[in-house]
Amino acid sequence: MERQALIDLLELLYSQKIDVDQAAEQLRNIPFHDLDFAKVDHHRSLRVGHPEVIFCQGKSTWQILEIVRHQISADETVFGTRADKQALDALKSEFREIEISETGRCFWRKSKNWKPKQDVKGQIVIASGGTSDAPVVEEARLSVEILGHPCIAIQDVGVAGIHRLFAHYSQLQKASVAIVVAGMEGALPSVVSGLISSPIIGVPTSIGYGANLNGMVALLAMLNSCASGLTVVNIDNGFGAACAAVRMNSLSV
Amino acid sequence: MERQALIDLLELLYSQKIDVDQAAEQLRNIPFHDLDFAKVDHHRSLRVGHPEVIFCQGKSTWQILEIVRHQISADETVFGTRADKQALDALKSEFREIEISETGRCFWRKSKNWKPKQDVKGQIVIASGGTSDAPVVEEARLSVEILGHPCIAIQDVGVAGIHRLFAHYSQLQKASVAIVVAGMEGALPSVVSGLISSPIIGVPTSIGYGANLNGMVALLAMLNSCASGLTVVNIDNGFGAACAAVRMNSLSV
Amino acid sequence: MERQALIDLLELLYSQKIDVDQAAEQLRNIPFHDLDFAKVDHHRSLRVGHPEVIFCQGKSTWQILEIVRHQISADETVFGTRADKQALDALKSEFREIEISETGRCFWRKSKNWKPKQDVKGQIVIASGGTSDAPVVEEARLSVEILGHPCIAIQDVGVAGIHRLFAHYSQLQKASVAIVVAGMEGALPSVVSGLISSPIIGVPTSIGYGANLNGMVALLAMLNSCASGLTVVNIDNGFGAACAAVRMNSLSV
Amino acid sequence: MERQALIDLLELLYSQKIDVDQAAEQLRNIPFHDLDFAKVDHHRSLRVGHPEVIFCQGKSTWQILEIVRHQISADETVFGTRADKQALDALKSEFREIEISETGRCFWRKSKNWKPKQDVKGQIVIASGGTSDAPVVEEARLSVEILGHPCIAIQDVGVAGIHRLFAHYSQLQKASVAIVVAGMEGALPSVVSGLISSPIIGVPTSIGYGANLNGMVALLAMLNSCASGLTVVNIDNGFGAACAAVRMNSLSV
Amino acid sequence: MERQALIDLLELLYSQKIDVDQAAEQLRNIPFHDLDFAKVDHHRSLRVGHPEVIFCQGKSTWQILEIVRHQISADETVFGTRADKQALDALKSEFREIEISETGRCFWRKSKNWKPKQDVKGQIVIASGGTSDAPVVEEARLSVEILGHPCIAIQDVGVAGIHRLFAHYSQLQKASVAIVVAGMEGALPSVVSGLISSPIIGVPTSIGYGANLNGMVALLAMLNSCASGLTVVNIDNGFGAACAAVRMNSLSV
Amino acid sequence: MERQALIDLLELLYSQKIDVDQAAEQLRNIPFHDLDFAKVDHHRSLRVGHPEVIFCQGKSTWQILEIVRHQISADETVFGTRADKQALDALKSEFREIEISETGRCFWRKSKNWKPKQDVKGQIVIASGGTSDAPVVEEARLSVEILGHPCIAIQDVGVAGIHRLFAHYSQLQKASVAIVVAGMEGALPSVVSGLISSPIIGVPTSIGYGANLNGMVALLAMLNSCASGLTVVNIDNGFGAACAAVRMNSLSV
Amino acid sequence: MERQALIDLLELLYSQKIDVDQAAEQLRNIPFHDLDFAKVDHHRSLRVGHPEVIFCQGKSTWQILEIVRHQISADETVFGTRADKQALDALKSEFREIEISETGRCFWRKSKNWKPKQDVKGQIVIASGGTSDAPVVEEARLSVEILGHPCIAIQDVGVAGIHRLFAHYSQLQKASVAIVVAGMEGALPSVVSGLISSPIIGVPTSIGYGANLNGMVALLAMLNSCASGLTVVNIDNGFGAACAAVRMNSLSV
Amino acid sequence: MERQALIDLLELLYSQKIDVDQAAEQLRNIPFHDLDFAKVDHHRSLRVGHPEVIFCQGKSTWQILEIVRHQISADETVFGTRADKQALDALKSEFREIEISETGRCFWRKSKNWKPKQDVKGQIVIASGGTSDAPVVEEARLSVEILGHPCIAIQDVGVAGIHRLFAHYSQLQKASVAIVVAGMEGALPSVVSGLISSPIIGVPTSIGYGANLNGMVALLAMLNSCASGLTVVNIDNGFGAACAAVRMNSLSV
């Protein structure tokens, strides 16, 4: 459509219905996003398969319901993260078709047009240190799935019982991309980075107490890893890790 | 060889020269790295095309020279990072064949067997905010090159003059993976993440003064980016970003 | 009145009803605020057009009501910030004439004498990174308005979709003063500073999670901006930014 | 010139020498900075009256000399900040026409075309807490002067001897914009903000020791000021304060 | 009594009822607090005029009531700090004779033996920056009073309206010891230290928001004061300031 | 069992029912924890005398009940830490046999097989600075007891009344290992380290307010102790201190 | 003199040589420091017995020499702190009459008019934790002496060997004011506060390494002391502690 | 001797040469360290087998030489830590009998009376993450040896190549006490704690750069370990770890 606006303008000029000065003036007044530039945004929409992820933290239940009503009426894929129990209950009672993960604090409904990416060859593996990291693992896992990529999760393989990790060694080695989730001392991504050759995304969690500084220690430990190939996202940011993993995995087309 | 040790043991059992108990006992005494496990390490060597990167910070010039002498006599590829001027001068005067980047604080010599990766399809793009970030850009660029991947660098396109970035828009869009280097407020990776759909690695630098906290502000700003698809490495860690980028780019085979 | 006290004293001396020593003694006993010095305070009252802004955070609903009752009985302009829902509800039910912004956590009533500044030429523009910054934007916008200066707000133009900002480029360029509000990585003020030549006031917000350190990262990022012309206020301090913007805009008389 | 390129293209279309598709294609290939957008940058140059400020910290003496040689040969106005003694000595011995401030760690040469802003009505006042803040005061004062605005400095009027400040009360009241420089507890800007009605820019300095955290305490104290109308820049950032003050003072035209 | 135990032992030796070895052995078994050393503790009780201050934070209402019951039954002076509303209400309903300050979060009952110190010459003055500092002022004021020293409080004389402080100049000058309470930027103690020659105790409060770091900024600002004669206590520690002031004022006997 | 799997495989080879290549392949597919390695974990279970400690913080009452039901039905020793009042009440009402410490936020039931370690010679002594440290002391004391080691606790012997500590000097000297618990300034472990020659474990607590940074000050003070022989665990980590003390005391067999 | 200016003005009015309006106008133009107010400053000079303490840190040797030359030519008492070896050597070689403490980094010369305070009854005692704290002890001791108060120092009585402190128990008890200097864990002031009833000033030092955060840990530990009567100054601030101690000790007149 | 002083006093009383009051008075005047109390100190000397460890950091070469001269003339065992190259060179040239470790920054000479502890059964094992940790490992190893306990070191077994650690599994399992040294992310102690059942002492090192905060990240990671049995000492504190390990190992007598 926007491209059409540009074409229309140029055709007016070509047919000499406006002159060069008028055309130049109008060109400058077309907002940038009306030009090719805005494709970035559209491209993103197409790529992730849903128009908008709803980050619910700080939004009222009423606001969330409004957005979801709008998206469902337009038959868009719905995906929301960081929803509290009150919001999830309200969604469940109003929309039968919405699926919910209390652990992952997420909800979703795939539109009719949603389908998994078919040309992606690799599988994303999510590994976590302890059972308390489950909310972050679940947020990452569901995000990857909604974005259409294959994914498995291996939980509770923290470094204090390192043999548990080795029991899953072959699964890890097959990962196209690994998301490694850990709280407390945040050591698991370092160990995994030394075991496999794929890109690793470390996700520190706020799990712990006392001098864990709400996850800052796990975050900083991952950034200071002596292992190469490891990059890091914000504390508890399962969704962000999923987005980055999907960008990486899309290279394996 | 190590695999051979295992095979030998099994053959002794097969030919009934030892019994089951003896075999079980010996199996337990073979150190783990003598089993398949240690392949991880060998695999890493093969993958990066050089036996060891020399991290020179904290090493004496004498120690660096010793390592390089050993590597050259074995005709290995040599690559060193974070070398100060004294070390670079000493290397230059002793080894004619070693190349040097004062800006990047690196030195290298490719062995006869070194060759670029031939099955990699994507190009890694490095973008930086200001001219002062050059040492980190150079460390990243040289690391990528030694690791055998194609790479270009776009410097001085910081957010305070955002039009400079747009002049390189098409180059950025062609990136398989982007490494984005920035000091001070560390905003460039956020902007780039919104412009392209490839994975982005943010590298904060210690460039700045006063309340920049030696790069911590740039680091934390990148981790709190409102853009998705961005992951982050340690302050000034050009080499680490290169390793991660190469792992990602290897997915584009 | 206070000046009168001084005049009275001097006239007693002039008419020789007291002697020099008595005058000197009494002069020292007149508190400083009884002299010209206290005009500073009065001048401030006159300048901002209301006797007192009520900072509600930490005050009980009862205390707030008491202050408002007093101000309304004196037909003063009322303006309160950082009021929680309970206080706003109580105000609404007691005073019909009070207006309220739930988003901005503010309430106000203009006295009969209130009128917009008429000699001010410039317009203050408020830009924000995301919809979650709305409370701070609203606090700033209402503060500017009560202080009598013209103001518009442009919301949700954060750096992760930089084309959105450019769509408002001409509005920004017309700003006499720009207040730029951003949470998370706090990069928007840097970008705006490079686009326009007016003074920019950065307002970091506490929006974000994990390693955002409750807004400290956005604050520090703005202070380390590579762009010139940018100054910064405390986290979430929309009112403070408005006061500073009004001081600046008053220069455009 | 760039606008010309656009006009040329449109005229080709108007004269039907190219068709609409070709025009649309070429329009997309014109880099953004070739459009009106890049004027921002030129505008900045025109506004500040010199092509580039040289931030010397982190540059070698040789690099600084090279830049200055280039600027002088083009008869541009030269202005450098944060130069160490070695650089200043080298500049002095090579260029007779360059002026130098050891205290302010600055050097400058005004080109033939340089002249003070003539339509600016207000005067910028710089106040500082102690004599140790002199380098920052001097950097700010020289920056304001090179940018063509009138400026006076009042030094050593810190809060521990508050009467010293009052002795300069009338000078402060006449300020169009006040830059207030203070280290240690950083209290001076708060006091000044209560005394005058102009915009105040607080500049924390790294002066102090022990728990001053290299100026972070002064910085944070200013940001938490109970006085309104105060905005803040980075630690020791005299140049940044000058740029912001000049933007504000330009409103007084 | 304890001294008696020692005397008894020595007399047994003197009368040769035990020998030297037995005496040496028994001397080593007398716990230290049975010797003169324990007088320190008794001396403290005598000095402060009440057996124990009840720090209520973290204690249950039930625990507080138990302690108060015990003290009242022994006719001791009761003094409690940091009590929440629930505890104060419970105390009020059980004990008619207990007095309460909701603002200061304190309660007290003077025993029959309580009387003000009669040989103390100086008066302690408490000054505060804003009305929100009232709880800390009140805790300090009541503590000083219970400890038997004369005290006055001057509130809301913060540095953003410095003339308010000067109106109380003569009161401040008469202070034997000054306790200066301030939140936000914590500048008031610095200003007061320059005005009077008595010892000043700075009490930072947690009043403020955003980058005030819950009072750490006020605390650090006071510690970095450019004024001499100022010492500092913990955030919100009105009781601690009172204890220190009383120790100082006791020198004025 | 797992060992059996290995034996079975080897016997197949010995009896030549599989060949060497098949054996080698299968050996690599046996997960590591099926080998001797996993004994580490079993060994831990045996050592501590209970299958699993339940860390209740972050677990729902329902989840805790489920785990306890499972353990009791298997007649395992039950031990839970960091349980809130709701969980403790629920446990009490469902299981008559469970014992509870509200102060220590713990619950436990010893299985029929539980018995104290009989070959341990030393006694663990826990000392604490103040009565508010009681929850941490209690958690440590109960943990040591459940782990089967002898233990006594000496409370409220903080450094501000140092004679109280000396009254317990002989008890301290007899300690095989000392756990020293302190909040606020965290000085007690330093003093104890100078008095006795056994290993000391410092446990900082979050007791305090204002600039205590939730226990970080006590933690850092202990780590910077000028006394030797002192090691430190996380804030409020009574259970961790108990585990470490038990490992040390087990050397005294 | 300044008072005279006021008197002169009032006499002109009294003799009706000027009228009331003229007097009011002139009164407003007399700078504040010309009124009684400025006595504060003079009073300070008189009180401390020397016109200016030279804080040498950050001053060049040349600047220090200039100030000393000026003071000696005016026969003023000279006192300088934080002087490095170069400055001390230069002072020694130029001025025979100047005394020097290399340990305390101080120099001084008493003028002919200098004499100890004669009406002060109390003695200031300085205690320190270790021999490495000697520079701070010495700075404090010399400052107290130059300010004319009696003083003794007890060094190396840190808490890790607490019996060393008790050996000086009677000296401590006689202290009018105690300055307690300690680095590392900063525990000594807490212990001393429990032993004596005089005011205690804690001086944290930067002695230590690793997690001592350059003295911040000792500083924060002292502020969180569980002992009452303790106030604190900045890290290594021996001079500030001396000034505060002298203010306190002056109450004992 | 000191005991003798006590005995002498008691005998004077027994023989009635002094009376009870005189004895009581003299007993109170004997400094505490003259009583049994001071044995603590002597006991420490005996226990560690050398009179004093010289902590050289912050001491001049001249001061170190003086101490060593004194110790050698008294034929005491000499042991110094944190000595720089200049000091080591000076020691080497003056004392032939002194041994030196440049890596460990230590020097030592065993006196004739020195001998290894003979009743200690356990061996202390030191493991480290990387070769850069060697100085801390060496300081710990030499300290343990001088203190007379058996010790071995396993270096460069960091978590990024976890198989290297497993190669030393049996050595680790035989450790009586393990000292685990690691910089960067500090993960090694967590992994080791899960592998063995002995007490583990974590020693964080300052090895790393950027966001490692000079070792604070490694320190905090260790304190937040999800593994039990781990206690921690200050950054780079090899000597402190050795002292604690020796205290623990002494339990294995």
Q: How many other C-beta atoms are found inside a 10 Å radius of the C-beta of residue E239?
A: 27
> Whole-number mean pLDDT of chain E?
84
Mutation target among D163, D207, D216, D236 for the G interface, most CBs of G within 10 A: D163
Between A203-212, D69-78, H29-38, the lowest mean confidence (pLDDT) is in: H29-38
Which pLDDT tens digit goes with each residue over H85-112? 999 999 999 999 999 999 999 999 998 8
Q: CB–CB of E166 and C33 under 8 A? A: yes
**Average pLDDT of chain H?**
84
Query: Which residues on chain A are in Cβ contact (under 8 Å) with F236?
Result: 209-210
Q: In this complex, how many residue pairs, one in chain D and one in chain E, have their CB atoms less than 8 Å apart? A: 112
Question: DSSP state, H31?
Answer: -
* Contact residues, chain H, for F44 at CB < 8 Å: 197
In this prediction, residue C26 carries a pLDDT of 66
What pLDDT is stored for residue A24 in this prediction? 66
Question: What's residue H30's pLDDT?
Answer: 44
Q: Does B238 touch chain C (CB under 8 A)?
A: no
Look at residue E24 in the predicted model and tell me its pLDDT: 66
Decide if pLDDT at E117 tops 60: yes
For chain C, give the mean pLDDT: 84
**Which chain F residues touch E214 with a CB distance below 8 Å?**
210
Closest-approach residue (CA) in chain D for A25: D7
Residues from chain D contacting residue C224 (CB–CB below 8 Å):
234
Interface test with H, best of G85, G163, G173 (most H CBs within 10 A): G163
Interface test with C, best of B131, B133, B157, B159 (most C CBs within 10 A): B159
* Average pLDDT of the segment spanning C63-75: 88
- Touch of A by E (3+ CB pairs closer than 8 Å): no
Name the average pLDDT for chain A: 84
Outline where G121-237 has alpha helix (H).
134-146, 163-166, 169-173, 188-195, 216-223
What pLDDT, on the 0 to 100 scale, is given for residue E60? 85
pLDDT above 50: residue F39: no
What pLDDT is stored for residue H4 in this prediction? 59
Average pLDDT estimate for D191-200: 91
Q: How close is the nearest chain F Cα to the Cα of G218, in Å?
A: 7
User: What tens digit of pLDDT does each residue of F184-196 get?
Assistant: 999 999 999 988 9
Alpha helices (runs of H) in A56-187, residue ranges in sequence order: 61-73, 85-94, 134-146, 163-166, 169-173
Confidence of residue E42 (pLDDT cuts 50, 70, 90): very low
* pLDDT at residue C31, rounded to an integer: 36
Per-residue pLDDT, B38: 28
Q: List the single residue in G6, G20, G28 with the smallest CB-CB distance to C11.
A: G20
The ipTM estimated for the assembled molecules is 0.82
DSSP chain B: -HHHHHHHHHHHHHTTSS-HHHHHHHHHHS-GGGSGGGHHHHHHHHHHTSS-EEE-TT--HHHHHHHHHHHHHTT--EEEES--HHHHHHHHHH-TT-EEETTTTEEEE--TT----SS----EEEEESSGGGHHHHHHHHHHHHHTT--EEEE----GGGTHHHHTTHHHHHT-SEEEEEE-TT--HHHHHHHH--S-EEEEE-----GGGGGGHHHHHHHHT-SSSSEEE--TT-HHHHHHHHHHHHGGG-
pLDDT higher than 60, residue C39: no
Q: Which residue has the higher pLDDT, D92 or D168?
A: D92
Question: Which residues of C are less than 8 Å from A234 in CB distance?
Answer: 209-212
Question: Interface partners of G (3+ CB pairs, < 8 Å)?
Answer: C, D, E, F, H
**Per-residue model confidence (pLDDT) at position A40:** 31
Is H14's CB within 8 Å of E19's CB?
A: yes
Reported as a pLDDT band with limits 50, 70 and 90, residue F4 is low
Q: Who has greater pLDDT, F63 or H6?
A: F63
Q: What is the mean pLDDT of residues G83-106?
A: 95
Instruction: Tokens for B100, please give them.
Output: 């040097």
Selected residue with higher pLDDT from C40 and B116 = B116
Lowest-pLDDT range, B22-31, C43-52, G112-121?
C43-52
Q: Is A202's pLDDT higher than 90?
A: yes
pLDDT confidence bin for F34, thresholds 50/70/90: very low
User: G40 touching C, CB under 8 A?
Assistant: no
Render pLDDT for B57-92 as a digit per residue (tens, 0 to 9): 878 898 899 889 988 888 888 999 999 999 999 999
Helices and strands in chain G, H and E counts: 11, 9
The more confident residue out of G108 and C36 is: G108
Least confident of A203-217, B173-187, F29-43: F29-43
Mean pLDDT of C49-76: 82
| CA atoms within 13 A of residue H230's CA, in its CB half-sphere | 30
Report the share of chain D in percent with pLDDT over 90.
Answer: 54
| Partners of residue E194 in chain G, C-beta under 8 Å | 40
Res E46 pLDDT > 60: no
At H81, which helix (H) or strand (E)? strand H78-81
- Which H positions 195-214 lie with beta carbon below 8 A of chain A? 195, 208, 210-213
**G48: pLDDT strictly greater than 70:** no
State whether residue C239 sits within 8 Å of chain D by CB: yes
Flag the least confident range among E50-64, F75-89, F165-179, H165-179.
E50-64
Sort out which chain G residues have CB atoms less than 8 A from F162's CB and list them: 162, 191, 194-195
- The percentage of residues in chain H with a pLDDT greater than 70, rounded to a whole number, is 86
**pLDDT per residue as tens digits for the range D200-239:** 999 999 999 999 999 999 999 999 998 889 999 999 999 9
pTM: 0.86
Give the range among A72-76, C241-245, D191-195, H235-239 with minimum mean pLDDT: A72-76
CB-based contact E143:E126 (threshold 8 Å): no
Question: What are H6-18's pLDDT values in tens digits?
Answer: 677 777 877 888 8
Asked if H24 lies within 8 A of E6 by C-beta distance, the reply is yes
Say which residue, H172 or A51, is predicted with more confidence.
H172
Give me the mean pLDDT over the H206-224 stretch: 95
Task: Provide the percentage of residues in chain D whose pLDDT is more than 70.
Answer: 86
CA distance F163 to chain G (A): 9
G38 pLDDT more than 80: no
| C-alpha torsion G232→G238→G239→G241, nearest 10 | 30
**How close A211 gets to chain F, by Cα (Å)?**
6
Of D197, D200, D248, the CB nearest to C199: D248
Average pLDDT of the residues in C13-35: 62
**pLDDT at residue G46 above 80?**
no
Query: Per-residue b/e over H130-160, b at no fewer than 16 CB within 10 Å?
Result: bebbbbbbbbbbbbbbbbbbbbebbbbbbbb
As a whole number of angstroms, the distance between CA F101 and CA H240 comes to 36
Confidence at B49, pLDDT banded by 50, 70, 90 = very low
The string of pLDDT tens digits covering residues C104-134 is 999 999 988 888 888 888 999 999 998 889 9
Task: Please compute the mean of the pLDDT values over residues A79-108 and round it to a whole number.
Answer: 95
**Predicted confidence band of residue B226 (pLDDT cuts 50, 70, 90):** confident
Residue D26: per-residue pLDDT: 65
Instruction: Note the pLDDT tens digit of each residue in A159-168.
Output: 887 878 887 8
Mean pLDDT (whole number) for E224-251: 94
Structure confidence at residue A48 (pLDDT): 39
Mean pLDDT of G16-27: 74
Q: Which residue of D has its CA nearest to G220?
A: D211
**pLDDT over 80 at F66, yes or no:** yes
* Of F33, F214, F219, Cβ closest to residue A164: F33
Indicate yes or no: CB of A221 within 8 angstroms of CB of H185. yes
Strand partners, G109: G78
Cβ contact D38:D3 at 8 Å = no
Q: What's the pLDDT band for F167 if we cut at 50, 70, 90?
A: confident
Name the residue type at position B98.
I
What is the pLDDT at residue E26? 66
Give residue B2's pLDDT band: very low, low, confident or very high (50, 70, 90). Answer: very low
Contact C32 E207 (CB under 8 A): no
Position A228 scores a pLDDT of: 85
* Any H CB within 8 A of E28 CB: yes
A3 touches chain D (CB under 8 A): yes
Do residue B235 and residue H166 have CB atoms under 8 angstroms apart?
A: no
> How high is the pLDDT of residue C37?
31
pLDDT at A28 exceeding the cut of 60: no
Percent of chain G's residues with pLDDT above 90 = 55
SS (H, E, C) chain D: CHHHHHHHHHHHHHCCCCCHHHHHHHHHHCCHHHCHHHHHHHHHHHHHCCCCEEECCCCCHHHHHHHHHHHHHCCCCEEEECCCHHHHHHHHHHCCCCEEECCCCEEEECCCCCCCCCCCCCCEEEEECCHHHHHHHHHHHHHHHHCCCCEEEECCCCHHHCHHHHCCHHHHHCCCEEEEEECCCCCHHHHHHHHCCCCEEEEECCCCCHHHHHHHHHHHHHHCCCCCCEEECCCCCHHHHHHHHHHHHHHHC
Q: Which pLDDT belongs to residue C169?
A: 82
Question: Does G192 or A162 have the greater pLDDT score?
Answer: G192
